[in-house]
Structure formats: structure tokens, C-alpha cells
Structure 1
Amino acid sequence: MKRHNLALALVLTAGIAGAAEENATDHSAPGAVPVISAERNASIAMPDEAAQSAQHQEMAAGVKEVKSGSESKATPSNLPAKAAAQESENAVQKAEQAETSARTAETAAAQPAQAEAPARTAETAAAQPATEKQMTSPENSAESRMFTPEQEARIGQIAKAYLLAHPEVLMEAGEKLDALQHEKQIERITAAVIEHQDALLNDKAIPTAGPAEAKVAVIEFFDYQCIVCARQAPIVNSLMQAHPEVRYIFMEWPIFASRWETSLTAAETGLMVWQQKGAEAYLAYHHALFATGHQEGKLTQADIKKAAGKLKGKAQTMLDVIARTDALAQNLGFMGTPGIIVMPATGAGAHNVTVFPGGVNQPALEAAITKAAGTGS
């Protein structure tokens, strides 16, 4: 009976192993999990009782023949027990191979998903924010710094010690800065002069001297209480004598009016002299006030009346003209007095306008006149 059971087990094992081998290689698509069809399931289904009985009888007869053969041939290779054991072992190996094939097929089916992992990792690295890459780049790392914090601190100490030992370097730096600022200021004022040239040249309420058809104009913003203006007055007077062909325009700008009352009174009176008595009387008044030497609050009402002579009306009527001059000076960018402009009467541009935000000597003024006239080499 044990042999019958063993033979039956061998038959069933062989059938299952064969079906497993077929299923391991029968894939509907690459990477698909093996599926056993209904027909194959039927082929390896357990036999019914009648079939089992017939198989038992056949196996019994076969065993009997083997037994009788073994009695006539007693060689080790023909022993029934060894043959059955070998056949059983072969069946077990086939079953294990079938199971291994099935597992291999399952692993192959799972490989596409695993293969996607490196690709996703690469995509994630590529999508890393640019800012994060910049933060970790060598250019932005501490190693790329030219100096360490300790070196920077030492450099600062050395620079400080040098400046303390050589303070003239600071003076030179300050002078360089002043020169740059002065240059920028000149550029701004020049541009404003070109923009406001009509107001500078054609206001009939403003005192002028020289020919009306002059090709060049010298314009001065001044205050009778300004000490620098007082020093500039004889230079302008000398220039007028040397260049009578130039038109001179006098902008009364009493910037010290809030400090000294006579600053405003002198400006208002000068405008009245111009309107009532003309250019010659105005020039006499103008030179007389500066000739007193009474600047920076020292000018008196008596000085003003003496220089002006007898006038009609009140000086306060000139406030509108003074306010207009003040607005013009500020629009030009002048910060104080004196402020001098040398420009052509027509066609003013950056190439022929010269600005002096402060006192200036006569040679510089004469060079500016030549430039404005367009007669320079």
C-alpha cells in the first residue's frame, strides 16, 4: 500500500511540475505574472476514485514485475527501492524548479517598477531648486572667500594704523570727493541753465548793462551782504571795462534777508533804481553799496538811501520780482551767492555754457566769454 501511495504521489508531482514549467514561460506580455488556464488546471486535477483504483492496479503489477525481476537480477542498480527513491527525488527537484521559475517570473514582473526608482531619483535631482544649488555651489561657499574673518580683521587694523600715521591721505580723499561732487553740481546747473535760458536772458524787470544785441551774457546772482560777493564786485567791474561787448545781468537774490533786514531792503531799492532811473544809475548804486565795505549785517538804511538817491513809491513793490529770482536760482541748483553764468545769448548748450557756483577770477571769466562766443581755438 505504501508503494501504491508513493507511485500516486510521483504521478501527481510530475503532472504539477510539468504544468508549472509551462506556466513559467507562458506570459501574456513581458513582465506579466504567470496565470494557469482552466484547461491546464483540468489536466492536473486530482483523478476520481475509479481512475485511482486502475492506477493502483497498474502500479501494483509493475511493482510485482520489478520485484520478480529483482529476484532474478540481484544487482544494486536494479533494486526497486532505489529506483523509486530516485524517481521520487527527481519529482521533488522538478517541483522545486517549477516553484523557482514561478518566483523568477514574479521578480521579472516587479522589475519595471524597480527600474523606475533610479529615473525618479535623477528627475528629483534635476528638479532641485536653483537657489539650493547656488547655496551649495563653490562660488558661494566660505572656501571661495578671498580672506578669512581673521584676515579681514587684521587688514582693518593695518588700514586704521596707516591712516592714523598718515592723516593727509584722508585730506586727499576728501579733496577728491569734493572735486567729484563739484563736477556733478556743474553738470546739473548747466542742464538747468539750458532749460531756463529764456527766464535768465529776457526778464525786463531784471537790471542789465551792455548792448541788448550782445552775443554773450554774464549773469550774476548776488546779495549785498555776502562777503564773497563784495570781493567779486571789483572783478566783475574790471571785466565790464575789458569786455564792453558783453551784456551783464544782475540778479538781486537777498539770501540773508531772514538774518539782516538791509539785505532785502538793498535788493528792493536796487530794482526800483533800475526801473526808475535805468542802467547807468543802477550800476552807480550797485558799486556804491559794495564800496561801503558794510557786509554781513553791517549795511545800514542810511547807506542804502545815500546810494539810491530820491525814489518814488515803496520798495516793497519789488517783492514779486525778488520771489521770481529766488525760484529761478533754486531751479538752477545754486546753493548760495555768488552764482555766475556765462552763456551765449542764443543757442545755449553744454558746449558753450560755463557755470561758476562761487567766486571766480577774471581770467576764468574771460575764457568763459570766449567759449560762449564760439571764437575759441
Structure 2
Amino acid sequence: MPDRSPNRRHILKAVAALGALAPLPLWANPMPSVEEVAFDPDIPVLGNADGDVTVVEFTDYQCPYCKLSFLQLSEVMKEDTGIRLVLRDWPIFGEVSRNAALLTLAANSQGRYADAVQTLMTAREKLTFRSTANLLDEAGVDVERARGDLQARQDVLVGVLQRNEAQASALQLQGTPGFLIGKALYKRGMTSDDFRKAIARARA
């Protein structure tokens, strides 16, 4: 029997609002500036908010290469405290990914965004609507509150994903992950050594 609970309907409504948008042709998405990609007031910052190098990752919580790259970058961030990390959710794997992205963004109002990201990025199980809720709950997120926040701020949070998709298209990313480090674009997964070299080049 389908789940007709109000919260589930609100989530699906937000997902549908995003999914209903037809992809724009490349020429319709103007090339974003580095500042537009790296400094979005509606996206929480991880790492050092005042860091001297910004790493932007276009990511999907169901993308295994995104997760591997995130773990590699996390190792680098333990030794380099000057990194400012921005995750631009680009849920190319469908509704479950969009749901995870929206709920994680909504968890920021509880101060649990970083915990939610860490949990979903390190999860080995396949994501579903239910497993996403369970994982976020384990991360300390009040999922019902997050769903309420998503309902209240749907235009803002869905707008974040819309901007992310438009920027990924303008940058001609073929999929996730993609990285903007300083002013250089990398259209692939990266190792810890790759990150160290890219960050050094951004600082040079």
C-alpha cells in the first residue's frame, strides 16, 4: 500500500517540483563566475569557513566516486586547515538522491548539516527513502523537523538544487563528481594526492 502520510507527500512534492524542470540547452545556462559557484549563501560551508582555498564538489549521495573522493578530501582536510568545502548537490541518480540532498540541506537549521553529510557520504548501504531517514536519524537529525523545515523552505532549498544543476550544465560536467578548486575545474574523481596538488596550485 502506498505511503500517503503528509510528510511523504511534502517530500515528493518538493522532488517533483525539481524533477519537472526540463533540462535547458547548454547555451541557456550562462557561465557562472567562480564567486557564484563557491559562495552561495543558501549552501552551508564545511571545513574552515574562512579558509584560503575553496573546494567545490558537485556531488550525488548515491555516486560511489563522489564518496571515494569525499573520503580522500577529508583526509587532506585533517592535515590542511585552510580548506573551505562547499558541496553542490547535483542529484543525477533520481528521486532518492534528491530527497537525501533536500533533507540534508534542511538539517542545517538543526546544526546537523555536517553530521548528515558525513553519514550519507560514508554509508555503504543502498539509499532508499526509508534508509536515508534512518541514517539521518543515526546522525542526530530530527527527521520530522527536517521534513517540516523542507516544507517551509521548499522554494529556497529546491532553488539551491536548480542552481547547482544549471551550473553543472554550464560547466559542461558529464556527471558526478566534479570539482572547482580555486579557479580550476576538474571533471573526475580525485585522490588525496590529486587534491594536494590542486590545492597547492590554487594557492600559488
TM-score, with length taken from structure 1 = 0.41
Residue 237 of structure 1 and its aligned partner are, at CA, apart by 1.4
Question: What is the aligned counterpart of 2:110 among 277, 283, 296?
Answer: 277
Alpha-carbon offset, residue 367 of structure 1 = 1.1
Counterpart of 2:130 (choices 290, 295, 302) is 302
User: 1:252 matched to which residue of 2?
Assistant: 89
Alignment of 1:335 onto 2:174: yes
Note the alpha carbon deviations across 1:64-99, whole angstroms, 9 max, x for none.
xxxxxxxxxxxxxxxxxxxxxxxxxxxxxxxxxxxx
The alignment status of 1:262 with 2:96, answered yes or no, reads yes
Q: Find the partner of 2:158 among 311, 319, 339.
A: 319
Question: Cα deviations across residues 311-352 of structure 1 (Å, max 9, x unaligned)?
Answer: 241536121111111111111111100001110xxxxxxxxx
Number of corresponding residues: 163
- Report the AA paired with residue 133 of structure 2: K
Once the two structures are superposed, residues 156-183 of structure 1 have per-residue CA deviations (whole angstroms, 9 ceiling, x without a partner) of: xxxxxxxxxxxxxxxxxxxxxxxxxxxx
Q: Partner of 1:198 in structure 2?
A: 35
Correspondence for 1:239: 76
Greater helix share, 1 or 2?
Answer: 1
**Matched letter for residue 234 of structure 1:** L
Unmatched segments (≥5 aa) in structure 1 = 1-191, 344-352
Q: Distance in 2 between matches of 1:283 and 1:236?
A: 14
- Structure 2 alignment gaps of length 5 or more: 1-30
Asked if 1:289 corresponds to 2:117, the answer is: no
Question: 1:293 & 1:326 partners in 2: Cα distance?
Answer: 25
- Equivalent-residue separation in structure 2 for 1:362 and 1:247 (angstroms): 16
Measured against aligned partners, the alpha-carbon deviations of 1:12-43 in whole angstroms (never above 9, x if no partner) come to xxxxxxxxxxxxxxxxxxxxxxxxxxxxxxxx
What is the CA distance between 1:359 and its match in structure 2?
A: 0.6
Cα pair 1:233 1:287 within 8 Å, conserved: no
Task: Normalising by structure 2, report the TM-score.
Answer: 0.73
Give the structure with higher Rg (CA): 1
- Number of the residue aligned with 1:356: 186
Query: In the TM superposition, what are the counterparts of 1:169-180 in structure 2 within 5 Å?
Result: none
Displacement, 1:201?
A: 2.1
Contact 1:265 1:315 in 2 (8 A): no
Higher RCO, 1 or 2 (CA under 8 Å, sep at least 6)? 2
Superposed, 1:37-76 pairs within 5 Å as none
Tell me the secondary structure at the aligned position of residue 328 of structure 1: helix
**What is the RMSD computed on CA atoms of the aligned residues?**
1.7
Cα distance between partner residues in 2 of 1:289 and 1:303:
10
Structure 1 CA distance, aligned partners of 2:83 and 2:64? 25
The amino acid that maps onto 2:110 is: K
* 1:206, distance to aligned residue in structure 2 (A): 1.2
CA contact (8 A) 2:46 2:85 kept: yes
Q: Which residue of 1 aligns with 2:198?
A: 368
What is the aligned partner in structure 1 of residue 53 from structure 2?
216
Counterparts in 2 of 1:212 and 1:304: CA distance versus 1, 3 Å: same
Letter in 1 for 2:168: A
